[in-house]
Structure 1
């Protein structure tokens, strides 16, 4: 007997064993209609929701207050803690002040992006064939769509890159196939980065940020965020031109002859699309930006928020758009001043109330799409910009529990995020010090870690 027949026979026997009817649909002798099974029990949840015990504020102050008074934090520090489980403000130090936020600015940018742009949006980098070129050879136009993560090559599997980016190499392969299909062997190259406007370098940034390899000029078209060849690792002065040059060189390596040098153009509506690659979804980009504190990615998101709200995709347009969106969500704007989306500008100012409201809005069950602002934050001691924090015995209790966005500039140190205390209460917190002497840099960071760890293990539940 074949294996197929044995299996079929077994299935038939099983069906007869569980079915109360025969082949013709009539009940089998001695078998009642339906199976006589006990009533199913309702499954209990595997993980119970945190009880959210109310916090005793005096006890909290007694535990955290001495840590906030440490001289390593400098002369200008602020702290706020909010009970998300019970929607209750607990304690604020420095409530009426504004602070330099550093990279906690990215929380504002991320929330505005998730609020205004669909989470599954992808940003396309395209190759068009110009319909208006009068040149003797066809002109290809490389069009930037504001993909912040477009890479030259596919990253190695062990590189840990998240999410997996679109690549210039894939775009070249698709372009070469299209050119060969139409018999084209010679082209000229144009490039269009006009989606973004205004200066590529923020006038409020420190002058050494660009030559000092801190950040690239912001562009709607770049490869590897404006980094040059791997052997140098330096940032290029014109990321869009560099992308076009790399594109042309890759085409030439595939046997396509490049005529002339790349030129900046504006793509025409009648141009024909030959190839495209698309970025990861917006939600993944936001996660990446928050986890690794990606400055370039945050500035690109700022411009997409501007476009989504009908503004010019520039520093000014993006900052105005973010403030408008957050005001609409109920995030207080008094005392908030934004000049960029990454927090590199020392001219930015935020309040503790505005920062903690970011977490309140993100935790709102009616706005589940915004939850990523909390869930995408680095995990203390494990991921992203917190991978090597919370390592000392005095702060180890926060490892694996607290999630926070770091903020770091010279003299500025901040942690803003959430934790769950030993009583099961979810707490939002902001701890920031923006006048830290340089000699106290490492001590100040460790002190902020201790503050968050103390919140986590406080055991400050109010008496019933």
Structure 2
């Protein structure tokens, strides 16, 4: 066994040695300064920028000397970054200020109509006020208190009141693939065990199933136990919860001598989960429940509570919030702030309270808060803002309390195992934050001279997290050692490189309205080589969120691996030959191979290719008049992962978030067309295209007067095909439509096909079903349909920036190049293509469309793909597929009347806090350039970012040497 050094002095010696090495590294901005702190931190940053595995990191750093009231160090301090759990400081400090350290959460029990002489009550109401700490033991105590109050029987209903909060169960932008886990638990005013259950897998007898238990025990969760006990001491267990359902599947193996495996699994509809456990606790307390007892939710007001439970005070709860970085506590606090201060228990109202407090602290604008915990990647803050908050808190009576809740370096919480044996141990107190691509640390440290420092370090674009932590730890040691730092050398760091277009383009990035925006930009001449080919670069290696610019890589790989003439096929087969009189005595099969363009001949048709109607015609031409079997859809060419990893749960009702399936129709959507009713108070008029029974539309929307607010919305119930129309649509509103995704695209395809066949007079036997299945090896092939060539498919994808097309292409590439219709296999092919262009793959690609914020890539990576395609045989097809400025696609209305119009061919990309533009432009002097502009961060509107892009590209188009 390799020896592990645990001597604190040895660790400090190694850290000090590293600092001495870094001190010798020439640095950037501090090239000729005499400030040791600036020189040393810049040296750390410079060293990381030379490492291919950390070069993409982008960091904001602020260090403020509270004792001397001066800024010690600032780097990108005004740029916005995703903060992860550092967001909890915004939420937690506001809670201490507005609610107070002594604030307690209550949970109340009411009875309707009182308790009769025999101790009977008709209805029992349990009402929550957002207590994030409520436990099974607390419910047990409430039940015993009721028993002591004389309650013996509940005859009719157990009512649960969670109306103190709204019914939005997840934070804005949270990712669907986080949902099964306890750290992403659903939110509710009536909550228990932080709205998750702890699932424990214990070995059984060898060869037999493992044993699974839940804590708390609940009937609301169904467990599919597929774990086998095997010989050995290791466990390989996977726990998944079906999206939108309390169905948990546990697979894998566990050794007969292994320790138990545990996983915290979140609960769908947590209020009913509380009710289920509450019912059991009442029974255990000896309170009888009627044989037909019902558990329901309510929001009615009742008289004084019979019994009340109060939580620990907020000051104590804050310890767990910060030291253990508890997401659930933070989210419940945010909604409580909204309920107490704004009389609305929503995240939005809570964020308003935080904004009011931050305004008092001097932070008036320039940030975005979407949730309370930092789990959302919509959150954007600066280190300057964080340090301003930490400074402001020092003036407050709860400052010592807040500091006592922060993790202590080398001692406890999320810092228990960090900075041991260094000057920062037991000295630095700070809130950590981490998730894929993000790492942050903000708090306080006492310097060597006794000065108290407030600091914030937020890093995004992390390819490997160890380097972000290394940055934090090295800066922590520097702060703790301050001012006893080595003096900077005479040489300093090299000056930032100047480029041919630096004087032209640098001023565009300096616009005041773009202060919070980080930019990764590169411009290269296609016909030049070496360093001279780079006409401009600004943070070109920083890993950024690209949005739809990622489609450039997906499209390039599809052309390379599949070829421009590739056509997607769709196979139609029968299990038996068709009889002479038109009878198919078996099943009809349709197998899909990822054609994204299959459509119905109506408004949903996007481009030519295979239509449902053409499939019906083919069946008729084969003489089929009656089908005695089932209609079976084979979509096994792709895997069963229907959504890209990291896609946001609250996008699921929108067309751009359609589910991915090898057999898809109308880009996986139905069209809901709507317009106001004939007069006020009439239902909104609705039509569905195609007119199918596959979806259920519940129209609760009504027409209102012309001057009333338009609150009309269309949403799909999670993991179902129920679409709800709600709100008010004023008279005079234009007729419009929304495309809404379906839950099981293959079944939608099959249902519409069956309906169209029946309309055409082709009958199915009673009881025949539309279902998914695998095509048998022995079938009668009826016809193979083919899509338009890939060149046309790619053009539609890029011009319209269609996410589904991109995801289908990625999986199709994976199937062709690597034998697996998965996103991972497709991404492997993308990386191989980029390597063939001569570039590295030190970036993160997780989907094909750029919809996920897990994607992290640099402007240099994107231009590498564009350069590679410029030398490829299929370049003309690739080039023509891109939107043209002022002409078509997503650039149709941009750069009109400029030198860029009908010149620039480029891919756009945009989502909240992200905007990108990459492609090709020809200068006035005739030089062909390739460029990539990636913008991330906070701006007052998306127009700020598009204006920067347009101004840069127009300057390139006008350039004349």
Name the TM tier (shorter chain). Answer: 0.7 to 0.9
Provide the secondary structure at the position in 2 that maps to 1:149. coil
Task: Give the corresponding residue for 2:756.
Answer: 250
What is the number of residues matched between the two proteins?
390
CA contact (8 A) 2:541 2:860 kept: no
Q: CA deviation at 1:202?
A: 1.9
Say if 1:234 and 1:349 are closer, same or farther in 2 by CA, change over 3 A. same
Q: CA deviation at 1:137?
A: 3.5
- Of 147-156 and 254-263, the range deviating more from structure 2: 147-156
Task: Give the corresponding residue for 1:125.
Answer: 570
> Is 1:60 aligned to residue 501 of structure 2?
yes
> Is 1:362 aligned to residue 804 of structure 2?
no
Equivalent-residue separation in structure 1 for 2:643 and 2:554 (angstroms): 18
Greater C-alpha Rg: 2
Q: CA deviation at 1:185?
A: 5.5
CA contact (8 A) 1:155 1:164 kept: no
> Residue 899 of structure 2: which of 380, 391, 397 is its match?
397
Task: Give the corresponding residue for 1:174.
Answer: 618
Higher relative contact order (Cα pairs below 8 Å, separated by 6+ residues): 1
Equivalent-residue separation in structure 2 for 1:144 and 1:377 (angstroms): 27
> Residue 384 of structure 1: which of 889, 897, 901 is its match?
889
Provide the secondary structure at the position in 2 that maps to 1:316. helix
CA contact (8 A) 2:631 2:754 kept: yes
Give the TM-score, by structure 2 length. 0.39
Task: Give the corresponding residue for 1:149.
Answer: 597
- Per-residue Cα deviation, 1:281-308 (whole angstroms, up to 9, x for no partner): 1122112211111100000000111012
> Is 1:193 aligned to residue 641 of structure 2?
no
CA contact (8 A) 2:636 2:774 kept: yes
CA contact (8 A) 1:217 1:226 kept: yes
Task: Give the corresponding residue for 1:85.
Answer: 527
Q: CA deviation at 1:85?
A: 2.6
The structure richer in strand per residue is: 2
- Of 99-108 and 320-329, the range deviating more from structure 2: 320-329
Say if 1:372 and 1:331 are closer, same or farther in 2 by CA, change over 3 A. farther
Equivalent-residue separation in structure 1 for 2:616 and 2:759 (angstroms): 10
CA contact (8 A) 1:72 1:436 kept: no
Q: Which runs of 5+ in 1 are unaligned?
A: 1-56
- Per-residue Cα deviation, 1:348-397 (whole angstroms, up to 9, x for no partner): 01112111111211111xx2124433232110011101012224x7xx33
Give the TM-score, by structure 1 length. 0.79
Q: CA deviation at 1:71?
A: 3.6
- Per-residue Cα deviation, 1:94-118 (whole angstroms, up to 9, x for no partner): 0331111110100110111111112
The structure richer in helix per residue is: 1
> Is 1:271 aligned to residue 779 of structure 2?
yes
Equivalent-residue separation in structure 2 for 1:77 and 1:432 (angstroms): 6
Task: Give the corresponding residue for 2:585.
Answer: 137
> Is 1:423 aligned to residue 925 of structure 2?
yes
Equivalent-residue separation in structure 2 for 1:222 and 1:204 (angstroms): 22
Task: Give the corresponding residue for 1:433.
Answer: 935
- Per-residue Cα deviation, 1:398-422 (whole angstroms, up to 9, x for no partner): 1111111001111101110111111
Say if 1:145 and 1:58 are closer, same or farther in 2 by CA, change over 3 A. closer
- Please, what is the CA RMSD of the aligned residues? 2.3
CA contact (8 A) 2:656 2:802 kept: no
Equivalent-residue separation in structure 2 for 1:449 and 1:229 (angstroms): 34
Equivalent-residue separation in structure 2 for 1:58 and 1:347 (angstroms): 31
Equivalent-residue separation in structure 1 for 2:553 and 2:839 (angstroms): 10
Equivalent-residue separation in structure 1 for 2:920 and 2:801 (angstroms): 17
Provide the secondary structure at the position in 1 that maps to 2:630. strand
Provide the secondary structure at the position in 1 that maps to 2:818. coil
Q: Which runs of 5+ in 2 are unaligned?
A: 1-497, 578-582, 673-686, 689-738
